[in-house]
């Protein structure tokens, strides 16, 4: 147990601190590494725990937690008084170490990204930064990266609804606070929460970049990290690179601004774009709606047009296509896939493809009623092309085969890129999750089963001649493999053969029964209970396909 005593006389502004004399501050796992200017970084198991700043008379041990820093025994601190402080304390002021003065300032709202600690409401906490005036260096638990900031973990992380937004908000706050801190410090250096030495130029570039991300700059196009199983998006600005993980529930998801949760959410949701390849872009809103843009040098085809913030969606499409001609393909009759068409300039669109036997409907929204059928007959008269199963479209440098898939809607379709073995499926395959990615009823099981078996047959799944390798769903932030289709088919087949007996009880008040497959094999009730009780990572969740089921024959 450390011998602690309060020594207020050590501080210019009468800040309280805990002091103790060395030696024997032992911590076997801790390491002390010289970073210059009589400063040392303390790590345990390769994790940065804080810094030690050594003066002629005293040393300051800065911890990133409320616990005292575990400082290894060293001759550097012989006969020096060690003062223990942390970045979470309330006290501000200055510490006189003899030949140097360390100033502690509170950066209100600056969240520590090294150990994210935001409350459930997402309000960032406060953090202290310690400034060595002699060396013009600031020491902080904040982290905005060094060349790259990785925000929100990756597909090996568990992320709840809204995590992307909260963590990017924390990064933005940290970047702005560090910018304000260093703007009056000539040639300042920041030692961050991960042991990086960060320049003021990088701080400025990262601040500008995260502002562009959070303001949904129309000219900012993300790159897709293909090395991750799920969705990690990358943006670059000057010397700064930002990579953030988008969980299954989307940038905001239903937690913050989901369908019906925010007044005028049709306009408040924002639009951003991700480049999947030289010919394919993913355009997504901050809810869970997604569209795909295929392009060559002369033509573009937009697959589905989304539901929220039509003006911003149209602006983004124009930014991406430039002078190319544009056609639109609508996979099925549900309004969240075509509602934004009303905001598109009909004079800029060559053709609108729509399933031949689907019934175009009307949607009542904040601005009134939009009747798709009326729009196709009037603004797009002579441009509407009704497509059916087996048709092949030659557009934007691609040969795209139309495949009819019953189930989600009576006559919905998917598009197969024949050469690249890529399937754009709208909602025909639901959403990849273990919590019920498609909704089936007793009255619709047979149509679902028929549609999926037709799709498997056309694609030749399960054979050496399989025609698909990558699947792009309408509400997923990442690509899926053909094993997802096979898992979904197994779920529907189980319902078709065994009805309610095939279902599992859904915990957490889902209100319906589930059928869940992992890697194509049905799981048990015990396995499902464990899933709902655990914080499964996005990478682990990709292995599952599921459907929810309601017996609509029971009155």
What is the per-residue pLDDT across 311-367, written as a single tens digit (0 to 9) for each? 999 999 999 999 999 999 999 999 899 999 999 999 999 999 999 999 887 876 656
pLDDT top residue among 9 and 209: 209
- With a pLDDT cut of 70, the percent of the chain lying above it is 84
Q: Residue 149 contacts by C-beta under 8 Å, 6 or more apart in sequence?
A: 113, 143, 171, 206, 210, 240, 241, 242, 243
For the chain, give the percent of residues with pLDDT over 90.
55
Categorize the per-residue pLDDT at 20 as very low, low, confident or very high, splitting at 50, 70 and 90: very low
Average pLDDT over residues 218-240: 89
The packing angle between helices 482-498 and 445-459, to 10°, is: 140
Instruction: Choose among 143, 142, 145, 144: nearest CA to 127.
Output: 142
What is the predicted pLDDT for the residue at 367? 60
Q: Which of 24-38, 139-153, 170-184, 479-493 has the highest mean pLDDT?
A: 479-493
Nearest to residue 357, comparing CAs of 329, 332, 394, 383? 332
Say yes or no to pLDDT of 443 above 50.
Answer: yes
440, 448 contact by CB (below 8 A): yes
> Between residues 109 and 497, which one has the greater pLDDT?
497
pLDDT digits (tens, 9 = 90+) for 461-473: 999 999 999 999 9
Query: Which is higher by pLDDT, 152 or 89?
Result: 89
Reading the block at residue 410, the tokens are: 């009576």
Residue 203 phi, psi (nearest 5): -60, -45
Candidate from 299-313, 371-385, 403-417, 494-508 with smallest mean pLDDT = 494-508
Report the pLDDT averaged over residues 154-163. 64
Q: Which of 236-250, 251-265, 427-441, 471-485 has the lowest mean pLDDT?
A: 251-265
pLDDT over 50 at 148, yes or no? yes
pLDDT exceeds cutoff 60 at 14? no
Lowest mean pLDDT among 349-353, 366-370, 481-485, 549-553: 366-370
Residues in contact with 383: Cβ distance below 8 Å, sequence separation at least 6, in sequence order: 346, 349, 350, 351, 352
| Residues 49-89 pLDDT 10s | 999 999 999 999 999 988 999 999 888 888 899 999 999 88
Whether pLDDT at 537 is above 50: yes
Q: Which residue has the tokens 């099925």?
A: 332
Q: What is the pLDDT of residue 3?
A: 30
The answer, yes or no, to whether residue 225 has pLDDT greater than 90, is no
Does residue 153 have a pLDDT over 80?
A: no
Is the four-CA dihedral 343, 345, 346, 352 of positive or negative sign?
negative
Q: Is the pLDDT of residue 270 over 90?
A: no
148 or 274: whose pLDDT is higher? 274
**DSSP secondary structure letter of residue 454:** H
**Highest-scoring range by mean pLDDT, 336-345, 368-377, 501-510:** 336-345
Instruction: Report the pLDDT averaged over residues 287-293.
Output: 91
pLDDT at 478: 86
| pLDDT above 90 for 178 | no
pLDDT value of residue 222: 95
| pLDDT of 263 | 46
Provide DSSP, 34-47: EEETTEEEEEETTE
For the stretch 235-260, pLDDT in tens is 999 999 998 888 777 777 554 444 44
The total number of residues shown for the chain amounts to 555
Q: Which of 20-24, 104-108, 389-393 shows the lowest per-residue confidence on average (mean pLDDT)?
A: 20-24
- Please compute, for residue 184, the number of CA atoms within 13 A of its CA located in the half-sphere on the CB side: 5
Tokens 């000219």: give the residue.
Answer: 219
B/e letters for 62-73, b = 16+ CB within 10 Å, e = fewer, are bbbbeebbbbbe
Q: Which two tokens stand for residue 308?
A: 């929220």
Q: Where are the beta strands (DSSP E) in 160-307?
A: 189-191, 197-199, 221-224, 231-237, 240-246, 271-275, 280-285, 290-295, 299-303
Nearby residues of 27 by Cβ (< 8 Å), 6 or more positions away: 44, 70, 71, 72
Q: Which residue has the higher pLDDT, 278 or 244?
A: 278
What integer pLDDT is reported at residue 152 of this predicted model?
63
Average pLDDT, rounded, for the chain: 84
Instruction: Please say if the pLDDT value at position 94 is more than 60.
Output: yes
Question: Is residue 272 predicted with pLDDT exceeding 90?
Answer: yes
Give the residue among 173, 158, 182, 249 at the shortest CA–CA distance from 210: 173
In the predicted model, is pLDDT for residue 21 greater than 60?
no
């Amino acid at each position: 147990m450390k011998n602690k005593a309060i020594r207020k006389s050590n501080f210019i502004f009468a800040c309280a601190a805990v002091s103790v004399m060395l030696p024997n501050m032992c911590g076997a796992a801790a390491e002390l590494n010289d970073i210059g200017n009589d400063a040392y970084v303390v790590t345990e198991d390769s994790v940065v725990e804080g810094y030690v700043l050594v003066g002629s008379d005293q040393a300051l041990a800065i911890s990133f937690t409320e616990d005292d820093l575990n400082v290894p025994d060293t001759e550097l601190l012989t006969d020096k008084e060690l003062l223990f402080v942390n970045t979470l304390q309330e006290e501000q002021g200055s510490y006189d170490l003899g030949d140097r003065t360390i100033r502690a300032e509170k950066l209100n709202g600056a969240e520590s990204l090294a150990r994210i600690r935001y409350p459930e409401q997402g309000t960032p906490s406060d953090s202290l930064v310690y400034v060595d005036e002699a060396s013009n260096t600031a020491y902080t638990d904040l982290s905005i990266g060094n060349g790259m900031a990785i925000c929100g973990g990756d597909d090996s992380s568990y992320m709840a609804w809204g995590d992307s937004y909260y963590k990017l908000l924390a990064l933005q706050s940290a970047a702005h606070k560090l910018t304000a801190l260093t703007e009056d410090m000539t040639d300042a250096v920041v030692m961050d929460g991960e042991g990086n030495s960060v320049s003021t130029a990088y701080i400025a570039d990262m601040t500008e970049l995260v502002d562009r991300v959070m303001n949904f700059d129309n000219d900012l196009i993300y790159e897709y990290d293909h090395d991750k199983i799920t969705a990690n998006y990358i943006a670059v600005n000057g010397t700064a690179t930002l990579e953030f993980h988008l969980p299954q529930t989307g940038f905001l998801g239903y937690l913050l601004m989901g369908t019906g949760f925010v007044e005028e959410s049709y306009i408040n949701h924002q639009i951003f774009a991700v480049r999947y390849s030289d010919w394919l872009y993913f355009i997504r809103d901050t809810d869970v709606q997604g569209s795909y843009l295929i392009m060559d040098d002369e033509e573009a085809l937009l697959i589905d047009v989304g539901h929220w913030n039509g003006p911003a969606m149209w602006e983004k499409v124009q930014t991406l296509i430039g002078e190319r001609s544009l056609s639109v393909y609508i996979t099925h009759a549900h309004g969240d896939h075509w509602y934004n068409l009303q905001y598109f300039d009909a004079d800029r669109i060559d053709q609108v493809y729509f399933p031949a036997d689907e019934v175009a409907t009307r949607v009542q929204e904040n601005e009134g009623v939009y009747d798709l059928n009326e729009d196709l007959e009037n603004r797009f008269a002579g441009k509407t092309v009704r497509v059916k199963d087996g048709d092949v479209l030659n557009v934007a440098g691609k040969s795209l085969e139309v495949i009819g898939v019953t189930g989600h809607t009576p006559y919905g379709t998917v598009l197969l890129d024949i050469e690249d073995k890529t399937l754009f499926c709208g909602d025909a395959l639901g959403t990849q999750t273990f919590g019920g990615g498609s909704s089936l009823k007793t009255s619709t099981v047979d149509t679902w089963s028929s549609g999926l078996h037709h799709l498997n047959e056309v694609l030749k799944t399960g054979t050496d001649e399989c025609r698909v390798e990558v699947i792009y769903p309408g509400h997923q932030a990442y690509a899926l493999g053909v094993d997802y289709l096979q898992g979904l088919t197994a779920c529907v087949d189980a319902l078709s053969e065994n009805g309610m007996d095939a279902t599992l009880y859904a915990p957490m008040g889902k209100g319906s029964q589930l059928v869940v497959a992992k890697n194509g094999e049905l799981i048990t009730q015990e396995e499902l209970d464990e899933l709902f009780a655990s914080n499964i990572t996005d990478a682990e969740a990709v292995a599952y396909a599921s459907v929810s089921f309601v017996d609509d024959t029971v009155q």
